[in-house]
Structure 1
Amino acid sequence: MGNQIFVIGHVNPDTDSICSAIAYANLKSKLTGEDYVPKRAGHINSETKFVLEAFKASAPAYLPDVRTQVKDIEVRRTKGVEKNISLKEAWSYMRKNNVVTLPIVDTENHLEGLITVGDITKSYMDVYDNRILTKAHTPCRNLVETLEGELLVGSGEEMFREGKVLIAAANPDLMENYIEKDDVVILGNRYESQLCAIEMNAGCIIVCDGASVSKTITRMAQNNNCIIIKTPYDTFTAARLINQSIPIQFFMTDKDILFFTKEDYIEDIKGIMAQKRHRDFPILDKDGHYFGMISRRNLLGAKRKQIILVDHNEKSQAVDGLEDAEILEIIDHHRLGSLETINPVFFRNQPLGCTATIIYQMYQEHQIEIEPKIAGLLCAAILSDTLVYRSPTCTEADKQAAQALALIAGIQTEEFAGRMFAAGSDLTNKSPEEIFYQDFKKFTAGEVTFGVGQISSMSREELDKIKESLVPYMQKAYHEHGVEMLFFMLTSIMDSSTEFLYQGAGAKEMLINTFHFDKNDKVFYLENVVSRKKQVIPALMLALQEN
């Protein structure tokens, strides 16, 4: 993730939220040279999808939570090792890289196990079995490398599977009594001892002190399938080193390995790490491949995600985990909400019909040329939010911005808006849930939380069909959100009118008192009302405050 800064709109994003995030990330990247990335906190609706496709713009990636994740912190990129390397090689790697835990991986970089300094210490201090070399199926090459020796007879790929390890300190007559088939025999330069070990069918003889081996002994070893390793070490040192040739697979932990992924949230893994005595924990990527190691110390330096909010400034409308992120800026055109920040932030809030208009102004102020694709996105956002200038929130600045952007993008505003709204209002194959969440927001007034959704259509007939499926769904949505009241606006673009649906104790009375409906009305319908932001939310807020 590096030093990416995310630009993100509200949950259940509309066209303004998505397009403004894309355009502002583009502007900030040009101004600073840093990596600003647009994100989205919800699914893209049909209208916005049409706009993105029209201007060949990629949809921002989905970011459901901005809490700090493992991928946001420094992960120690300890290289994974193969399970057949020797204890000595593993120990050398640990000392060189100052680590206490080694991940063990297969040829495709999948995690197979872990080995710690404690495991290696235990293998050296607690093992007194002279058959451990063969029980561990130690490869011959491990023994050669550990003893810094020379393989005179045999193959490094051979494995020791039978026999014990012994030192041939006695004379040849006595050696015959305790050397058995396939044993690994440590001896010196005595010809008779070497000959006796081979004749007793030893699996390997280790010749110490760099002593020479005669051609006769070499030939006999080849005929008897006996490995010969020559080492510069004396017999005492060779005997001490030999256990270090055992492959780490024999001592590694490969059951119930506790690992985390790059996508895990720091908040979630802290408690788990605190309950375990391990110092290091492996990290896997999204494909299940080993990535690196972290310790509790890594969590201390965890940096919060840096984000810029566009088209909202209320916590109830923001992406999850906002309290754990670092908010750098807020660009918005709504009322001041309940959002709090730890540090001062750049906050630009203007009474305009669309956030995209503010961003257009910022391009102009910094004299940054707007490319056609960005111009098209900004223009579409303004047309959408202002309902092609029909909304009471629309200002002269919004109109001028949209017209200037349309020229750059090469579109006719009325014609494009017609196709855009038609695409957005084509709800034939959408479920009630998809329609409900196409544009839904929560608001808080004092201790009361309520939700307001809205759908706009060019056709009153289509709105009537939507109403049939939404009315029964409203009750389910009401219980899911745990709000005091729930409202939904069915807005007709052509005749600038809105019908209200409602759910919750006191919701009907709230509509009657706020908009002066007759208590006997069965349908709550208002002419010349299309703006949730300017005509509905302020009125509901005032009514709640008065009550």
Structure 2
Amino acid sequence: MSHRITYVIGHKNPDTDSICSAIAYARLKRAMGEENVVAARAGNLNAQTEFVLEHFQQQSPQYLPDIYLRVKDVMTSDVITLNASDTLNKAFRLFKNYNLKLLPLVDPGKRLIGTLSLLDLSKIQMERLGPGRSHMLFTSVKNIHEVLGARILNAPMPEKEFSGFVVVGAMTEKSFKKRLQEFVPASTIVVVGDRYEIQKIAIDFKVRCLIVTGGKGLAEEFLKLARENEVNVLVSPHDTAQSSNLIFTSIPVHYAASKSRETLSEDELLIEAREKILHSENQGMPVVNHQRRVLGIVTRSDLLKPPGKQLILVDHNEMAQTIDGAEEVEIIEIIDHHRLGNGPTMKPILFINEPLGSTSTLVAELYQKNNITPEKTVAGLLIAGIISDTILLKSPTSTEKDEQMLKWLSEITGLNYIELGMEIFNATSSLSGRSIEEIVEGDFKDYLVGDTKIGISQVEVVGLEELDSIKDDILEYLEKLVKNRKYSLVALMVTDILTEGSILLFQGDRGITGRIRYPLMEPNIAELKGILSRKKQLLPYILEIVGV
């Protein structure tokens, strides 16, 4: 698994303040020595934010459709694998030395062909204890040579696998000859020390393999006869008892492995993978790509690992507004200037929340408190975030601290923030050229109040002339949102920077919309004189009429 990464992220449908504060705070954290801190976004950029990023030549933060934990977040990538012909002896050593629970079997192309678990090894050991099978195995001369560390004297076809029986030559010659009659020569492995008569009988019987133990050699005449009879001859450095036991670990792993096709993909949701693993008889599952090449492995103990991702929330604290899947990862900080709507956390976190006009103001102040001067481009982004959220300090949410931070950041950049603000609003406040979806969804926020679901969007314009031609289309779109997403109320607040007022278009439950007492210009369209702030002016009123 990769090192833990921290995403600094704003709300869904991010606005300029959300994006700029995320970029700036991630830069601050890295400047303070924290590694793997990355700015991210939970939605598409609006036209204003795109203009700001292009103006300051900054890349858009990484887009995250969700933060749900996936298999790749907990899997072990450095996977130890086995080839089908590898021995159980090798598997035993790998399990022991690396404390493994599962070993994938792969073909020469590294494609998965099976898995070997400790349970599989137990099963094959149990088979050895069954009646009539205690001396039977499936192996090859090559594998026997490997597990014994033997010296090969004769091996015509060492890699050919065969099933056979192990016969220990610890008996009289007469008994041994009688014992051999019970087996097929080509399936017989004889293990014997320096008992020359037994060695000769085995070679004459044309057994598949003769293992001479104790490091003893074979008489030259016996070796010549073995070659003529195509008898494989190996010299084991171990005694007869130990050699016999080791031979049973020469079985190829594919003989014992599970042929289960159960696998995981690296992008699979961890919650789904967890169910698969917990209901599997194995302790884990391999992770493969579409070609079945092994990418990693996930065991039950991996499911207990801390998540490889964590979040810092900026410009919001309500779970209804944050990235999908946030409940599965650790939220370690929140930097915000909105009402409290967050759920409980498992442990104390850094939570900075002040009634200011912009989260970018809070981030700028954190630069000051840590005696770090932001780069000019970062300072420019923070100016844009404050300008956008305070509507050039005209919003009633604006504070003296917002203005102080604007002046400090302007000194760093050499920019006139009033001129920059007018440039931003003039370039991006036109409704023409934007789809109804972009207008409504661009800065859309969800609010959950008990069982009541509310959605309020806001768009800033320089003059209201363009609204008249699209107001009916907007109302139709809002009505679809109410029906399709089960809102009790959906509203779009069109804020005119020039007149310092807004127009509210709304749809929803008549029991709620009927309580709206703003002057109606026409059905479902109200005039909001002097109202610029969704957060400080409109939202408290809406919450009041829904009964909060």
Check whether the contact 2:10–2:322 (CA below 8 A) recurs between aligned residues: yes
SS at match of 2:373: coil
Q: CA–CA distance in 1 between the matches of 2:112 and 2:221?
A: 47
- C-alpha distance 283-464 of structure 1, shift in aligned 2 (>3 A): farther
Residue 541 of structure 1 is matched in structure 2 by 543
Root-mean-square deviation (CA), in Å?
4.0
- C-alpha distance 144-214 of structure 1, shift in aligned 2 (>3 A): same
Report the Cα offset of residue 90 of structure 1. Answer: 1.2
Is residue 2:536 matched to residue 1:531? no
Residue 503 of structure 1 is matched in structure 2 by 507
Check whether the contact 1:308–1:329 (CA below 8 A) recurs between aligned residues: yes
Report the Cα offset of residue 452 of structure 1. Answer: 0.6
- C-alpha distance 173-69 of structure 1, shift in aligned 2 (>3 A): closer
SS at match of 1:291: strand
Q: C-alpha offsets along residues 60-109 of structure 1, whole Å, 9 cap, x if unaligned?
A: 33445556666666969763333322112212222333444333345565
Q: CA–CA distance in 2 between the matches of 1:522 and 1:97?
A: 68
Q: CA–CA distance in 2 between the matches of 1:85 and 1:30?
A: 51
Q: CA–CA distance in 1 between the matches of 2:356 and 2:288?
A: 44
Match of 1:242 among 217, 239, 247: 247
Q: Which range is displaced more, 450-459 or 73-82?
A: 73-82
Q: CA–CA distance in 2 between the matches of 1:313 and 1:534?
A: 16
Q: CA–CA distance in 1 between the matches of 2:514 and 2:146?
A: 83
Check whether the contact 1:489–1:501 (CA below 8 A) recurs between aligned residues: yes
TM superposition score normalised by structure 2: 0.82
Structure 2 alignment gaps of length 5 or more: none
- C-alpha distance 161-446 of structure 1, shift in aligned 2 (>3 A): closer
Q: CA–CA distance in 1 between the matches of 2:183 and 2:261?
A: 41
Q: CA–CA distance in 2 between the matches of 1:106 and 1:227?
A: 28
Query: How much identity, in percent, do the aligned residues show?
Result: 33
Q: Which range is displaced more, 160-169 or 373-382?
A: 160-169
Q: Which range is displaced more, 112-121 or 402-411?
A: 402-411
Is residue 2:83 matched to residue 1:82? yes
Aligned residue pair count: 538
- C-alpha distance 510-224 of structure 1, shift in aligned 2 (>3 A): farther
Structure 1 alignment gaps of length 5 or more: none
Is residue 2:486 matched to residue 1:485? no
- C-alpha distance 114-366 of structure 1, shift in aligned 2 (>3 A): same
Report the Cα offset of residue 451 of structure 1. Answer: 1.0
Residue 450 of structure 1 is matched in structure 2 by 454
Report the Cα offset of residue 331 of structure 1. Answer: 1.8
Residue 118 of structure 1 is matched in structure 2 by 119
Check whether the contact 1:15–1:47 (CA below 8 A) recurs between aligned residues: yes
Report the Cα offset of residue 22 of structure 1. Answer: 1.8
Q: CA–CA distance in 2 between the matches of 1:156 and 1:406?
A: 82
Report the Cα offset of residue 16 of structure 1. Answer: 1.0
| Residue type of the alignment partner of 2:217 | S
Q: C-alpha offsets along residues 306-330 of structure 1, whole Å, 9 cap, x if unaligned?
A: 4332111223222334445444332
- C-alpha distance 160-343 of structure 1, shift in aligned 2 (>3 A): closer
Residue 16 of structure 2 is matched in structure 1 by 15
Residue 313 of structure 1 is matched in structure 2 by 317
Match of 2:260 among 255, 262, 265: 255
Check whether the contact 1:221–1:228 (CA below 8 A) recurs between aligned residues: yes
Residue 380 of structure 2 is matched in structure 1 by 376
Q: CA–CA distance in 2 between the matches of 1:461 and 1:195?
A: 109
Q: C-alpha offsets along residues 103-128 of structure 1, whole Å, 9 cap, x if unaligned?
A: 33455655443222332232233145
- C-alpha distance 223-42 of structure 1, shift in aligned 2 (>3 A): farther
Report the Cα offset of residue 357 of structure 1. Answer: 1.2
Residue 402 of structure 2 is matched in structure 1 by 398
Q: CA–CA distance in 1 between the matches of 2:230 and 2:189?
A: 14
Check whether the contact 2:24–2:378 (CA below 8 A) recurs between aligned residues: yes
- C-alpha distance 222-61 of structure 1, shift in aligned 2 (>3 A): farther
Report the Cα offset of residue 438 of structure 1. Answer: 1.5
Q: CA–CA distance in 2 between the matches of 1:475 and 1:521?
A: 13
Is residue 2:209 matched to residue 1:204? yes
Match of 1:333 among 314, 330, 337: 337
Match of 1:282 among 276, 280, 285: 285
TM superposition score normalised by structure 1: 0.82
Q: CA–CA distance in 2 between the matches of 1:191 and 1:326?
A: 72
SS at match of 1:125: helix
Residue 519 of structure 2 is matched in structure 1 by 516
- C-alpha distance 109-471 of structure 1, shift in aligned 2 (>3 A): farther
SS at match of 1:336: coil
Q: C-alpha offsets along residues 373-403 of structure 1, whole Å, 9 cap, x if unaligned?
A: 2112212212222333443333444344334
Residue 32 of structure 2 is matched in structure 1 by 31
Q: CA–CA distance in 2 between the matches of 1:415 and 1:284?
A: 55
